[in-house]
Amino acid sequence: MTSPATSNPAMADQELVIGLVSVSDRASGGVYEDKGIPALSDWLAAAITTPYRLETRLIPDERAEIERTLVDLVDNVRCHLVLTTGGTGPARRDVTPEATLAVATKEMPGFGEQMRQVSLRFVPTAILSRQTAVIRETATHAALIMNLPGQPKSIKETLEGLKDDAGNTVVGGIFAAVPYCIDLIGGPYMETDPLVSKTFRPKSALRPATPS
């Protein structure tokens, strides 16, 4: 089977657009400085070697506002990947997963399962985290939306995975599967720095490396 990344070169070569959404009542209200978007921006800058454009949003823990933001980023801004941070716990105001599922056309539960596997290496309360991922599709566009933890350290760990002192992978990070997922939904071909996050693709989906 020919992969979408190789069957439609024009689609594969389009600009990569990534949306970052930090969900926090206090940060959006100016009570304290948001740390989620800077943490995501820094990690992506280190990990992704393909040119890309960021769209950022800082919003409160309001389900309707989260839904509107996700729909706008996918349908109007045409992001290929949207990463949210915050609002995934069991507290009453934590409604990011509900909002994400409400705008989804497909659920991708494996991403949330793997994030909890990473976090469980550190704290047993990781089972309280409700991170998930979904695909949102329109007639002409699709995007992967992923809910990430709220703390910068946890964001890095879940995206990148964990390695031992010898550099061997102990628990895989979720971002290794993201570029191929973007391929499969018709997005641009994304490349990463293997020292940060080594992308996995089947051999049939690989393209020649872009010269640095």
| CA–CA distance, 192 with 50 (Å, rounded to integer) | 7
| Token code pair at residue 140 | 């002409």
Percent of the chain with pLDDT over 90: 80
Q: Which helix (H) or strand (E) holds 172?
A: strand 169-172
Answer whether 131's CB lies under 8 Å from 147's CB.
yes
| CA–CA distance, 102 with 143 (Å, rounded to integer) | 14
CA dihedral of residues 140, 146, 151, 154 (deg, nearest 10):
-130
Q: Is residue 207 part of a domain?
A: no
| CA–CA distance, 113 with 126 (Å, rounded to integer) | 11
The domain spanning residue 113 has which CATH number?
A: 3.40.980.10
Asked whether the whole model's pTM tops 0.75, one would answer yes
Q: pLDDT tens across 5-16, in order? A: 334 444 556 899
The DSSP call for residue 89 is S
Q: Is residue 71 part of a domain?
A: yes
* Angle in degrees, CA 71, 79, 177, rounded to 5: 110
Q: Is residue 206 part of a domain?
A: no
Q: pLDDT tens across 47-103, in order? A: 999 999 999 999 999 999 999 999 999 999 999 999 999 999 999 999 999 999 999
List the alpha helices (DSSP H) in 86-197.
96-102, 109-119, 152-160, 178-184
Q: Is residue 143 part of a domain?
A: yes
Q: In angstroms, what is the C-alpha Rg of the chain?
A: 17
Domain extent at residue 158: 4-199
Overall number of domains in the chain: 1
Residue 9 buriedness (CB in 10 A; 0-12 / 13-18 / 19+): exposed
Give the confidence band of 169 by pLDDT, cuts at 50, 70, 90. confident
Q: Is residue 162 part of a domain?
A: yes
Q: pLDDT tens across 102-118, in order? A: 999 999 999 999 999 99
The DSSP call for residue 209 is P
Nearest to 101 by CA among 109, 92, 113: 109
Q: Is residue 208 part of a domain?
A: no
Residue 109, number of CB atoms within 10 A of its CB: 11
Q: Is residue 10 part of a domain?
A: yes
| CA–CA distance, 125 with 137 (Å, rounded to integer) | 33
Q: Is residue 173 part of a domain?
A: yes
| CA–CA distance, 45 with 15 (Å, rounded to integer) | 16
